[in-house]
Amino acid sequence: MNAYIYEIFNSIQGEGIYAGTRQVFVRFCGCQLRCGYCDTREARARVDKCRIYDRYIDNPLDTGIVIDAIDDLWTPSTRHISLTGGEPLLHSDFIKELASSTPVPIYLETNAGFPEYAEDVADLIDIASCDIKLPEHRSTDDYGSLLSAELETIEIFHSRGAETFVKVVVLQETTEESITSAVSGIEFIDESIPLILQPVTPANIDMQQLLGLMDFAGAYLSDVRMIPQIHRMIRIP
Ligand code: SF4
């Protein structure tokens, strides 16, 4: 099984409930969305070569090469393989083969727009970081369908035993009204699923706005946190 991969590298997870954890990142090419704040635009299309530390290898890569690269990049403090993108679930068959070939815990970062692929891999995922996009992210022309797909994906990972949390990027124009459907949708699945409100980078969000959004979401959900992108703060990949 082959996949187009943008890069493989070892770094610190900068987002969500595992922020600060050392991981080997496998960044897949391709994404079906076009979020206005996207900070990995270069990975939304296929590239001819994958960067692995200081080497470039012809795409597509097979799982054996990726496993070897992960082994080479592993360090004593590394804890997970992070599957990111782009949108990694576009490569669900590859993920199944990769995850079946290693005992290392698998951390998935997904825009959650493909519940059919989530069904395929859910039993192999240890931690699922699932986005919910907001209308103001301008990720798609059909926001209602995307939100339904994201909530279905979150339910699949949560019900199949993956440690699941939700990440919502907060923009200046984000309001209680614009997060209502996301928050009530998570509550309907399980009010204990953590919700991470992540200020867009560079953070130019008013603290009163963030605190207000936290309190609004906290009336529905038991675990609401505000976590900025720490990798951008310390300027690492
Ligand atoms: S889902 Fe992620 S990779 Fe895709 S456009 Fe949005 S931010 Fe970028």
As a whole-number percent, the residues of the chain with pLDDT over 90 amount to 92
What per-residue confidence (pLDDT) applies to 230? 84
Beta bridge pairs of residue 170: 199
Decide the pairing of beta strands 2-3 and 61-62: antiparallel
pLDDT at 34 > cutoff 80: yes
Kindly state the average pLDDT of the residues 18-27: 97
Confidence tier at 90 by pLDDT (50, 70, 90): very high
Q: Are 158 and 188 in contact (CB under 8 A)?
A: no
CATH assignment of the domain containing 78:
3.20.20.70
Kindly state the average pLDDT of the residues 131-138: 98
pLDDT at 233 > cutoff 80: no
pLDDT at 204 > cutoff 90: no
Domain hosting 148: range is 2-233
User: How many structural domains does the chain have?
Assistant: 1
Atom 6 in ligand 1: which residue has the minimum CA distance? Answer: 35
Ligand 1 geometric centre to CA of 76 (Å)? 31
Q: Are 110 and 130 in contact (CB under 8 A)?
A: yes
What per-residue confidence (pLDDT) applies to 44? 95
Ligand 1 geometric centre to CA of 32 (Å)? 8
- pLDDT tens track for 35-88: 999 989 999 999 999 999 889 999 999 999 999 999 999 999 999 999 999 999
Is the distance from the beta carbon of residue 55 to the nearest atom of ligand 1 less than 6 Å?
A: no
Tell me the pTM: 0.96
